[in-house]
Structure 1
Amino acid sequence: MNGRLAEAEILYGRILEAAPEQADARHLLGVLCGQAGRVEQAAALIGEAMALRPDAADYPANLANILDAAGQPERAAAAHRRALSLAPDAAEGWYRFGNALPHGGIHLREAAVTALERAVRLMPGDHRAAGRAALLLQIMARPHRDAGRRAEAAALLERSVGLLPEDAGIRFDRAAALYALGDRSGAMREFRHTLALAPGHAEALSNLGLLLDETGRTADGATACRRALSVQPGHVEGWVNLSAACETLGRYGAAAEAARRALALHPGHAGAFSNLAGALGLMGRVEESLPLLQRAVRLDPDDRDARSRYLCALLYRNGQDGAGLLEESRRWAERFAVAEPLPRPANEPDPDRRLRVGLVSGDFRNHAFSFYMEPLFRAFDRSLVELFFYSTATAPDAKTERFRALADRWCDAAALTEEELAVRVRQDGVDILVDLASHTAGNRLGVFTRRPAPVQVTTAVNIVTTGIDRFDACITDALLAPPGEEAHYAEPLLRLPRFSWAYQGPPEAPEVGPLPASRNGFITFGSFNNLSKITEETAALWAGVLRAVPNSRLLLKYKAMRDPASRAHLTALFACHGVASDRLELRRPPAGIHANLADYNDMDIGLDPYPYNGHTTTCEALWMGVPVIVPAGRLRDLGIARVGSAMMVSAGLSELIAPDADAYAARAVALAGDLDALATLRAGLRSRVMSSPLGDVPALARAYEAAFRTLWRRWCATAR
């Protein structure tokens, strides 16, 4: 072959001696030189041929191929461009151009995709160009994904899927990009496409499981995670996602076991430590969960959700004081509340105009907190305030639609980043932005860091400081935050002239039933609080009541009662305090508000936990005629330990407040010892609450309106 090339080279040389202007011979001699590896000589000869015949598209095309083979992509690209300018419909030329460009860097890579996409249009049946372009787009998306440019990554992967729709790997990347973008329905669609192409794709199964859990289809999510693990038992994220789904389902023992399996495979997995801590905490094993959360934070200091979870877990710890909690909250803020504020807003500084009030929460859904919020927002005077709801709920439900009906403006914000949501708030012209989540799950505290509204407040319903210094006030009251508590808040305190909580029973509430003790022959104490609140100290407190009232029973209801591990822990906890299992009734919640409230018709006297008092559960008990004995908060306690006593003061039931354990048991003995008086109290308790400040929702709405106006006028005074 080499001999023939040499002969051809001699022949072309003779032709050019005889006819120096013979362009084809000069071009072909250049091609021969390129085949022989003499690149510069080839480039010179073909360049001369191009000068002789500038309209010949095959000359620069062959030069491009030679330069590309020689590893000179920039020069090759220039030659390809010239060839394609002469023959724009040359599909093979576009393919070769696109195939050559990626080695030259990101800009050439983008040009390569454009070239390959053109080749696809010219050669619809040629899968080489489509596959190459799709792969390049997939590669190009990765740096955007890693840098947090989610929209750019998703757009590139959409083009990639369009070129190669049957590629499971590209489909999976597209699904992950849509999930990161907050497009959960799109992500679910793409995960399902991935699995249709590759049914054993463990990562797609695991991520689909996580997504189903987050969007309210948790049982299906757990099934998907188990399928992933049947395919790949060593898939760490599959175990982590399964633990999250089991936690949502209330199967805390299974959640803890799945997290432990993840840690056995990956001992340094921060998410697995966080999930294990969450499962143990929800079983009531708070003291065990706290060190695990600390470990998660150390392993991944940039996981803001784990740090927020740790802050919330501290609320359940006996002896936690406000100073320590403020210190931890400020640590969170120093790391995560760092976004620069938006420019000063241009809201009209009219002190008396109708105010636009924005409400940010993930609990505009079937959640205990919603039973407080819905009546309150319904009671606002809409001639004074316009309500903008920013819902970050990922699994909206029928209750969400009730909130939507209350809104003057509604925004489904689950898919928005904090920056995007801050911009939306600014565009909406909100005057006062209200945080209703603090550090609870799904919070958007980063929005408030950006100060999109002239006035920003958090509320006493969160009880605890955010640690962020960009709030204008925490709206609270003197019962929850008595004088001196200012030192435990990063936010200035604005105290309402009344208790900052009010309750109105739902229309689905059943009638108050007769006293259960009258038919049972024994007193039934009870609590429907979550198990995280049933701490060692709470168990000791309640065990003292059961000892003081012989033959009495304790009715406990929470979704954790479906979980064998949670039931076993609770039974063992009370056994340590001398309470036999036959004195405990561990009940699973029924479906529906009516049935859940009807369970109070099996309870004679409610018991409030310590240090984290009941909130909605206490109000529900009172509404259903059940008096609740509450521990008085101590001087160093957090506001959450004062909620019960504040409610009783507000309801005119101060006699139910117990300053210590002995008094707590004594209150129980007194109530249990006079069944006629207890029955009378039960029969009149709902009307008593309705006529008290605790049941006066309109009065609370007026107090909030006045507080908003005070804060707004302060801002107007500085804006002029």
Structure 2
Amino acid sequence: APAYPEARIALANLYRESGRARTAGKLCVEGLALVPNEVSLWRALGQARFAQGRGRAAWKAFKNALKLAPADGETHYNEGVALQMLHRRGLALRAYQRALALSPELIAADFNIGVIFREQGRAQAAISAFEHVLTRDPRHVAAHKALAETLLGAGRIDDWLTAFDRFEAACPDALPLAVMALEACQYRGDFAGLDRYLERLERDEFRAAGDTELADCLEELLYLLLFFDVDPEWHLSLYKRYDAVAGRVYGRPSPLPEERRPGKIRVGYLSGDLRSHVMGKMMWSAIERHDRERFELFFYSLSTASDEWTARYRGLSEHFEIIAELSEREAAKRIAADDLDLLVDLATNTAGAKPGILALKPARVQLTHVASAGVVGLSAVDFKLTDAYADLPENQQFQLETLLPMEGCVYPYGHVAPAPEHPFHRERIGIAADRIVIGGFVNQLKLSRRCLALWREILERVPNAILAVSPRSPEHRVIYGRLFSAAGIAHSRVCVVPQGRDDAENQARYNIVDFVLDPMPFGSANGSLEPLDMGVPVVTLAGRRHGERCAYSILANLGVMQTVAHSGREYVEIAVRLATDAAFRTEVAAAICNALEHSALTDMDAHTRHLERAYLEALEQRYPAALHAVRDGTDG
């Protein structure tokens, strides 16, 4: 009986749940051709379109269902979900409110109202909405997570920690809790608690509610683990797990055209930081020097923010697309339409990234650059860009992406002139003239227990030294205090230097610094380039992971190796010598200033040529047809 809707709907749901959403949708469309007023078929079609990521088609299906059954709360809720997918937040909000008026038990509608408020920047309204959900369901994992994230985003760190405690008590085995715990324990200086969570995570004791939640958690976790000393074998197992679940969540890549469109070599950059952000600023000095006769540039922004740096990137190319509010599949489809030869990822798994786009492989070759010290963890990403110093060959066995070393330093150098007028003078800040000031201008997540233990030893060996830190806010200052207390570093040995009002003022902070300590295991690239640009020595401990070799790569390419240590003991000894031997400190500073004038690190024209050769090598290995087309003169 072809017109029998119940059987057709049951079969469509089975197809959808098994990943065959297109077949499910086709079955519903065929049924509606026979019985166009069957409301259940319209609802089933809407669910199939959801599974395909087709928000507009889902909205149309649910609108038709509501014409037939306008008093169904769940259909109003689903209409709200479709509208939210389309970023029509006002209409979605009203759909959820109608859903709750008809079906007050729909907690999911309450939750999504909170999400919309947060997206609209209405933090307090979002917090109230998530609290309302938790009043009704104290074990609602997503509401706990969303509440905590909203509080943290609002800078309410103590309230965030209280929300974490509540989450921990209600949902002790939830994977989102464990991911949040890594930051919460670090912010509290609770290293014992941090160890417990890391051990339980490695034993796989936490559970995700489904594949989507698992993928979301792994995307966060793969980044956070870069800050801690963990077994690389375990990290690799998580990359493999993420690679598998990403295929189920985001779907299979759509086939690309067999024939390449004529033209120059087309290179796209995918980032949420094409703006006033450390990544956007760092990459600018390389990207602006691209050979425009040979390369056509495309930019895909994962952020709706726009500022003077965004305008600079827009000025480099006619192809600048904001894809922040597109779904992963919609964004991948948009990128694929440009027929790229190479897509360069500048986000990995950092905040605001959408690695699901990369899982769908919208370009023939994909490469991840210097967004973090890690990789994305996707077999769809062909290469991880590195250099001869930043990665040991053995690191290949612990990641899915193939290491692609470029000549020179993988980290682009950019000069920032310090502000001529600034408040960073020792006498103004109250630092005695005989004090040795050690710079530690790093994110609090980088202050690992191992790092702080070495810093404490240095301070113990140099009684007249103080450690300078620069928290982003008064709330973050408290976090540094907790971490130093946990490490046994007296607050009297720490000097808080305020943030500058702009990059030039921030650069001027190094006027009061004698030398800088690079943290571990996640070292600083920009935090090394800045002081070196001011002639300030940087002490680094070269380890085995990429994150432990960022500053080493920078110093090796600069040609100043006196402050590179290969053991914790050597790291301490170099720092103590810099603090106690003024002649050595002067010698290193002079070597830095001399090298800045004519080193491979600061020759940015050469850097970009090396970068381009690495891109060409990637194409040669994975898609030589692009190079052949250009060489043969078929580039139009």
In the alignment, which residue of structure 2 is the partner of 1:310? 221
In the alignment, which residue of structure 1 is the partner of 2:604? 697
Shift of 1:345: 3.0
CA deviations 1:132-158 (Å, max 9, x no partner) are xxx998897566546754332333456
**SS across alignment from 1:503:** coil
In the alignment, which residue of structure 2 is the partner of 1:543? 456
1:381 aligns with 2:283: no
Equivalences for 1:215-294 in 2 at 5 Å? 217=121, 220-226=122-128, 229=131, 233-234=135-136, 236=140, 237-267=142-172, 269-281=174-186, 286-287=194-195, 289-290=197-198
CA contact (8 A) 1:154 1:174 kept: yes
Q: Distance in 2 between matches of 1:509 and 1:471?
A: 41
Distance change >3 Å, CA 109–CA 552, structure 1 → 2: farther
AA matched with 1:176: V
Of the three residues 563, 566, 571, the one matched with 1:656 is 563
Of the three residues 677, 685, 709, the one matched with 2:616 is 709
Shift of 1:428: 0.8
1:530 aligns with 2:443: yes
Of the three residues 653, 665, 671, the one matched with 2:578 is 671
1:345 aligns with 2:257: yes
Aligned pair count?
582
In the alignment, which residue of structure 2 is the partner of 1:27? none
Equivalences for 1:166-177 in 2 at 5 Å? 173-177=78-82
AA matched with 1:405: G
CA contact (8 A) 1:209 1:223 kept: yes
CA RMSD between the two structures:
4.1
Q: Distance in 2 between matches of 1:213 and 1:681?
A: 49
Of the three residues 482, 487, 490, the one matched with 2:392 is 482
**SS across alignment from 1:345:** coil
Shift of 1:664: 1.9
Distance change >3 Å, CA 560–CA 160, structure 1 → 2: farther
**SS across alignment from 1:437:** coil
Q: Distance in 2 between matches of 1:306 and 1:695?
A: 38
Q: Distance in 1 between matches of 2:271 and 2:112?
A: 25
**SS across alignment from 2:296:** strand
Gaps of 5+ in 1: 1-72, 75-104, 114-134
Of the three residues 319, 329, 333, the one matched with 1:423 is 333
TM-score by length of 1: 0.70
Gaps of 5+ in 2: 5-30, 630-636
Q: Distance in 1 between matches of 2:420 and 2:68?
A: 59
CA deviations 1:458-515 (Å, max 9, x no partner) are 2355443444334443322110123444333423333212121122034676689778
CA deviations 1:659-710 (Å, max 9, x no partner) are 2233222222222224577468668856743642222222211111112223
Q: Distance in 1 between matches of 2:285 and 2:171?
A: 47
Q: Distance in 2 between matches of 1:682 and 1:518?
A: 21
Q: Distance in 2 between matches of 1:160 and 1:146?
A: 18
CA contact (8 A) 1:630 1:656 kept: yes
AA matched with 2:450: E
Q: Distance in 2 between matches of 1:648 and 1:433?
A: 29
**SS across alignment from 2:236:** helix
Distance change >3 Å, CA 330–CA 272, structure 1 → 2: closer
Of the three residues 37, 48, 54, the one matched with 1:111 is 37
Equivalences for 1:475-624 in 2 at 5 Å? 475-506=385-416, 520-559=433-472, 562-563=475-476, 566-575=479-488, 579-586=489-496, 589=499, 591-624=501-534
CA contact (8 A) 1:203 1:238 kept: no
Q: Distance in 1 between matches of 2:92 and 2:501?
A: 33
Larger radius of gyration: 1
Q: Distance in 1 between matches of 2:45 and 2:404?
A: 51
**SS across alignment from 2:297:** strand
Q: Distance in 1 between matches of 2:206 and 2:363?
A: 34
- Higher mean C-alpha displacement, 465-474 vs 416-425: 465-474
Q: Distance in 2 between matches of 1:198 and 1:187?
A: 16
Distance change >3 Å, CA 564–CA 692, structure 1 → 2: closer
CA deviations 1:251-281 (Å, max 9, x no partner) are 4443232133245445555434433444334
Q: Distance in 1 between matches of 2:300 and 2:200?
A: 33
**SS across alignment from 2:469:** strand
CA contact (8 A) 1:176 1:187 kept: no
Distance change >3 Å, CA 279–CA 162, structure 1 → 2: farther
CA contact (8 A) 1:268 1:299 kept: no
Shift of 1:197: 12
In the alignment, which residue of structure 1 is the partner of 2:93? 191
Distance change >3 Å, CA 333–CA 526, structure 1 → 2: same
CA contact (8 A) 1:502 1:693 kept: no
The answer to which structure, 1 or 2, has the higher relative contact order (CA under 8 A, 6+ apart) is 2
Distance change >3 Å, CA 342–CA 698, structure 1 → 2: same
AA matched with 1:226: S
Q: Distance in 1 between matches of 2:501 and 2:200?
A: 33
CA contact (8 A) 1:606 1:626 kept: yes
CA contact (8 A) 1:341 1:450 kept: yes
Q: Distance in 1 between matches of 2:195 and 2:288?
A: 40
Q: Distance in 2 between matches of 1:650 and 1:561?
A: 37
AA matched with 2:127: C
